[in-house]
Chain A
Amino acid sequence: MTTTKTKKPTVVEKKLISLADIVIQAAERSKDPTLQIPIRALSNVAFNEKKGLIEMGSKKQERSFFNVGMAKRFMQTVLVADALSELQRADLTTSLREIYYRTKHTIKDSHENTFDAQDESDPVIEDLEVSLAALREELHVSAENRGSIVGPVIFGDDGDRVDCSKLGKGGYSVPSIVEPEYLEIRRCTADFVLLVEKGTQWNRLSEDKFWRRYNCILLTGNGQPPRGVRRLACRLHEEHRLPVYVLVDNDPWGYYIYSVVKQGSINLAFESERMAIPKAKFVGLSSADPENYELPRNVGIKLNDKDIARAKELLNYQWFKKPTWQAEIKRMLASGLKYELDALANKDFQFLTKKYLPKKLQERDWLD
Chain B
Amino acid sequence: MATKKASAAETESKSSASRSTSEPVATKKPAAKPAERVTAVEMGARQREISVSEFFTKNRHLLGFDNPRKALLTCVKEAVDNALDACEEAGILPDVTVRLEVVSNGQPVAASQANRFRVTVTDNGPGIVRQQIPRIFAKLLYGSKFHRLRMSRGQQGIGISAAGMYGQLTTGKPVKIISRIGPKAAAHFFEVQIDTKKNEPLVHENKQIDWEQPRGTQVALEVEGKYQKGRASVDEWLEQTSIANPHVKLIYHTPEGETKEYARTYHELPPQPREIKPHPYGIEFGMLLKMLQDTKSHTVAGFLESDFCRVSTQIAEEICKAAKVSPEAKPRELKGPMAETLYKTLQETKLMAPPTNCISPIGEKAILSGLYKQIKGEFYTAVSRPPAVYRGNPFIIEAGLAYGNRPQDQNKPQQPTMPKAEGEGEEEDSELARVIRYANRVPLLYQQSACSTFKAVLSTTWKNYGLSQSRGALPGGPMVIFVHMASVWVPFTSESKEAIADYDEIQKEITLALRECGRRLGLFVRRRERAASEFRRRNIFELYIEEVVEACNRLKGGKLPKEKLKAQLQKIASTRTGGQKTDQALGKTGAGPEGLPHSIIVTAEGIEGETALATQIEADQATAVTTAEPHLQEEKQANVASASKRKVATPSLLEQSSRKVKTTPGGKSSKLTKTTVLRKPK
Contact = CB atoms under 8 A, between A and B. Distances in A.
Interface of A: 1, 4, 16-17, 19-20, 23-24, 27-28, 30-33, 65-66, 68, 71-72, 74-75, 78-79, 81-82, 85-86, 107-112, 114
Interface of B: 417, 419, 537, 540-541, 543-544, 546-548, 551-558, 560, 565, 568-569, 571-573, 575-576
Given A66-B541, A72-B544, A82-B551, 16 more contacts: A17-B555, A19-B555, A20-B555, A23-B552, A27-B568, A30-B568, A32-B572, A65-B569, A66-B573, A71-B541, A75-B547, A78-B548, A81-B551, A107-B546, A111-B417, A111-B419
A201 B572 CA distance: 58
A23 B565 contact: yes
Contacts of A16: 555
B548 A32 contact: no
Given A24-B560, A27-B565, A75 B555 contact: no
A27 B540 contact: no
Contacts of A20: 551-553, 555-556, 560
Most A-side CB within 10 Å, residue of B419, B540, B547, B568: B547
19 contacts: A4-B558, A17-B555, A17-B556, A19-B552, A19-B555, A20-B551, A23-B552, A24-B560, A27-B565, A27-B568, A27-B572, A66-B576, A72-B540, A78-B551, A78-B555, A82-B554, A107-B543, A107-B546, A111-B417
A75 B544 contact: yes
Contacts of A24: 552, 556, 560, 565
A1 B540 CA distance: 25
A110 B545 CA distance: 13
A81 B556 CA distance: 11
A33 B546 CA distance: 15
Contacts of A32: 572, 576
A27 B569 contact: yes
Nearest to A31: B572
A341 to B, nearest CB: 41
B540 A114 contact: no
A227 B540 CA distance: 36
User: Would you call the interface of chain A mostly helix, strand, loop, or mixed?
Assistant: helix
A65 B543 CA distance: 12
Given A4-B557, A23-B552, A81-B555, A74 B544 contact: yes
Nearest to B566: A27
Contacts of A74: 544, 548
Contact of A28 (B419, B546, B568): B568
Most A-side CB within 10 Å, residue of B537, B555, B573: B555
A30 B571 contact: yes
A86 B554 contact: yes
Given A27-B565, A28-B568, A30-B572, A82 B555 contact: yes
A110 to B, nearest CB: 6
Contact of A107 (B544, B551, B568, B569): B544
Given A17-B555, A23-B552, A82-B554, A66 B547 contact: no
Contacts of B548: 23, 33, 65, 74-75, 78
Contact of A65 (B541, B546, B554, B571): B541
Most B-side CB within 10 Å, residue of A16, A20, A28, A68: A20
A19 B548 CA distance: 11
A299 B537 CA distance: 56
User: Would you call the interface of chain B mostly helix, strand, loop, or mixed?
Assistant: helix
B558 to A, nearest CB: 8
A109 B547 CA distance: 12
A71 B537 CA distance: 10
A65 B544 contact: yes
Contacts of B417: 111
B452 to A, nearest CB: 47
Q: Lowest 3 CB-CB distances: which A-B pairs, in order?
A: A27-B568, A20-B555, A20-B552
A20 B551 CA distance: 8
A71 B544 contact: yes
A72 B544 CA distance: 7
A4 B547 CA distance: 20
Nearest to B556: A20
Nearest to B559: A4
A108 B546 contact: yes
Contact of A112 (B543, B551, B552, B575): B543
Contacts of B573: 66
A1 B554 contact: yes
Given A19-B555, A23-B565, A24-B552, A78 B572 contact: no
Most A-side CB within 10 Å, residue of B554, B557, B565, B575: B554
B540 A78 contact: no
Nearest to A103: B551
Contacts of B553: 20
A20 to B, nearest CB: 4
B434 to A, nearest CB: 37
A287 to B, nearest CB: 45
B424 to A, nearest CB: 14
B459 to A, nearest CB: 38
A75 B555 CA distance: 13
Contacts of A111: 417, 419
Most B-side CB within 10 Å, residue of A66, A79, A85, A86: A66
Contact of A79 (B537, B540, B541, B547): B547
Contacts of B551: 20, 75, 78-79, 81-82
Contacts of B537: 68
B572 A71 contact: no
A82 B537 CA distance: 25
Contacts of A75: 544, 547-548, 551
B573 to A, nearest CB: 6
Contacts of A23: 548, 552, 565, 569
A216 B554 CA distance: 50
Most B-side CB within 10 Å, residue of A23, A31, A33: A23
Nearest to B419: A111
A1 to B, nearest CB: 6
A19 B551 CA distance: 10
Contacts of A33: 548
Contacts of A1: 554
Given A27-B572, A30-B568, A30-B571, A85 B555 contact: yes
Most A-side CB within 10 Å, residue of B417, B557, B560: B557
A113 B262 CA distance: 54
Contacts of A81: 551, 555
A127 B556 CA distance: 21
Contacts of A68: 537, 540
Contacts of B557: 4
Contacts of A112: 543
